[in-house]
Chains A and B, each alone.
Chain A
């Protein structure tokens, strides 16, 4: 089971979330402060109006009828010189103006007549312009309405808000930048260490399970993962060692008696018995070798990371077998390009595959028949013989272990081609057999076109 690759990165998530948090952290207080400031400005106007009304009420003598207003000179002067910025009007219950700051107060009185005492309201100026802000209260049976031009107008609130928001952002933007920088720097350092560990993991080759990852410089959150991987590597390494140990021990234990047998047969007097015993021993020896090759292939994946030249590998393997071919009075020819044919893979395994292909041809074709070997630029290794070939019905199963063609001679082990197929598969290539025009078989290891 594979998990789809993550479509987000930790850095991107952190950047987006930090941006949201910091924006809220900056804008939130600003909004609260602007709100508070506007409220303060509004209530300042309200209090000023109430104070203004209070002044009038205090100086209104309601014991006489009509009531008499005795404004101190300072106030009277202020009203007179305000240019209708400050107004007052004293009304009776019928709405008749009993006293007023100026003729303009008539407008105020008209609007105030419809109002209930204790409310704030706006009065439209008859000649346009900003409306008055007004308030009405009672003084005994009378009503006192006051108004002022909005001194603390919205432009003030706007400027306060602009200043506050501007100031907030001036401080917030560097803060945001520094926060993001510090976050990214911290993450980058942690990720560099993780990238290093990933490199160490990538460098682990099959059979290299004794490798350990270093947790140096890693954040403590990641260290347990590294420790767990190291534990797993240790267990794998131990299992691999046991397996490897067994195959090497088995190799030695199996080969020694075969070596003794071969050497003992060599001491016999020459004759047909010695020859057939030698052939039996050779077959036994081949079986042991191939069983061990299969065990080795099964025991662990091969490191496939080397760039190797098929031409050189095939020529070397074929050159080692050529003396045997000559002894059987065969001709052997290799055709290959003058330039290397490079593939990714394991040199020893490929040499073993070629050896098995050629040995297979030597075992299953009559003495004296030619064996040709080809390497092609589109990576492929071909061994062509002039033997009986392989019947079409047997071609699929011939590469399976111990699946020997019914027509095969007794000298085969049934393992050689299985080893070839296994090694081919490990290289992403395919082992196949086909008929050769003019008689014989073509055994090949073919790499897919994409390589």
Chain B
């Protein structure tokens, strides 16, 4: 995986580069918006990590420009927390993910892997969490090398959980993702579906578990 790292702070860039390399990425580092634009235009990267504040320009402007010119590769944004501005909100609503500074390198790596799982090409991808694997192309689920049969809805829910592992899915998000706009929906449909999926995963001996946060949502993680 070729990764473009755009970060002007030299020490942070050095540490990030080392951490990302250790995680298996081939990292190229640039420190200015101009160099970043040139590198992105070359089109030889699979993913990019972009600091928003660059000495010669704003990272978000650069990204918007390249997006308008047809850039499709996933971009993870590094940003300082600014709770009172709507900037982070804007990022959340956009397709790309963001990480707040300061961050743990593990978190950056996890987010990058999640971004790479997104089906932005017609290629099948394998998402693996613990001993649970899902191929998003042929929708096969493997638990510790054994196949697990799931219904269409259960598969949809599992994919949703695995793409956003470690983060909370609210009931509304699940309803919108799995059920049609006009579909009649029992008020406890999501609860019932989650309960079934959880039972099947546990029955097959999967290590990741689905946590219920009452009134908030559900979360899948693989914390032993």
**A residues engaging B (CB < 8 A)?**
248, 251-252, 255-256, 258-264, 266-267, 281, 285, 289, 292-293, 296-297, 302, 315, 318-320, 322-323, 325-327, 331-336, 346-349, 351-352, 355, 373
Contacts and interface: CB of A to CB of B under 8 A. Distances in A.
Contacts of A335: 215
Given A255-B101, A262-B102, A346-B84, 20 more contacts: A248-B82, A251-B82, A258-B102, A263-B102, A263-B103, A263-B105, A266-B15, A266-B19, A266-B106, A267-B15, A285-B102, A293-B84, A296-B84, A315-B216, A322-B216, A332-B216, A334-B214, A351-B83, A355-B83, A373-B215
A329 to B, nearest CB: 9
Contacts of B217: 315, 319, 322
B216 A333 contact: yes
A293 B102 contact: no
Nearest to B214: A333
B106 A336 contact: no
A260 B170 contact: no
Interface string B36-77: 000000000000000001000000000000000000000000
Nearest to B83: A352
Nearest to A423: B84
Nearest to B215: A334
B84 A349 contact: yes
Dominant SS at the A interface? helix
A196 B211 CA distance: 56
Contact of B9 (A256, A322, A347): A256
A352 B84 contact: yes
A160 B80 CA distance: 93
B101 to A, nearest CB: 4
A359 to B, nearest CB: 12
A282 to B, nearest CB: 9
25 contacts: A248-B82, A252-B53, A260-B12, A260-B15, A261-B102, A263-B12, A263-B15, A263-B102, A266-B15, A267-B19, A289-B81, A293-B83, A296-B84, A315-B216, A318-B213, A323-B166, A326-B219, A331-B213, A333-B216, A334-B213, A334-B214, A335-B215, A336-B215, A349-B83, A373-B216
B16 interface: yes
Nearest to A288: B102
B104 interface: yes
A320 B168 contact: yes
Given A259-B103, A263-B16, A320-B168, A297 B215 contact: no
A293 B83 CA distance: 7
Of A252, A263, A285, A336, the most chain B CB neighbours within 10 A belong to A263
Nearest to B187: A338
Interface of B: 9, 11-12, 15-16, 18-19, 53, 80-86, 89, 101-106, 166-168, 170, 211, 213-217, 219, 221, 223
Nearest to B168: A319
A261 B215 CA distance: 37
A334 B216 CA distance: 6
Contact of A255 (B11, B80, B83, B221): B80
A327 B221 CA distance: 10
Contact of B19 (A258, A263, A326, A355): A263
Contacts of B221: 323, 326
Nearest to A249: B53
A433 B221 CA distance: 34
B56 to A, nearest CB: 15
B20 to A, nearest CB: 11
Given A263-B19, A266-B104, A252 B80 contact: yes
Contact of A322 (B16, B81, B213): B213
A400 B101 CA distance: 27
Contacts of A334: 213-216
Given A267-B15, A285-B102, A315 B89 contact: no
Instruction: Name the 8 nearest CB pairs between A and B, nearest first.
Output: A334-B215, A259-B102, A319-B168, A263-B15, A262-B102, A352-B83, A333-B214, A259-B101
A331 B11 CA distance: 39
A262 B12 CA distance: 9
A348 B83 contact: yes
Contacts of A256: 9, 12, 101
B107 to A, nearest CB: 9
A257 B53 CA distance: 15
B102 A255 contact: yes
A264 B9 contact: no
B90 to A, nearest CB: 11
Contacts of B86: 348
Given A256-B12, A259-B102, A285-B102, A333 B223 contact: no
Contact of B223 (A322, A327, A348, A355): A327
B216 A319 contact: yes
A351 B92 CA distance: 14
A326 B211 contact: yes
A327 to B, nearest CB: 7
Contacts of A327: 223
A348 B85 contact: yes
Contacts of A332: 213, 216
A62 B167 CA distance: 140
A39 B96 CA distance: 100
Nearest to A282: B102
B84 A348 contact: yes
Nearest to B78: A259
A352 B88 CA distance: 12
A255 B106 CA distance: 18
Given A262-B103, A293-B84, A351-B83, A318 B19 contact: no
B111 to A, nearest CB: 13
A281 B213 CA distance: 29
Contacts of A289: 81, 83
B80 A251 contact: yes
A315 B15 contact: no
Contacts of A346: 84
Nearest to B217: A319
B118 to A, nearest CB: 20
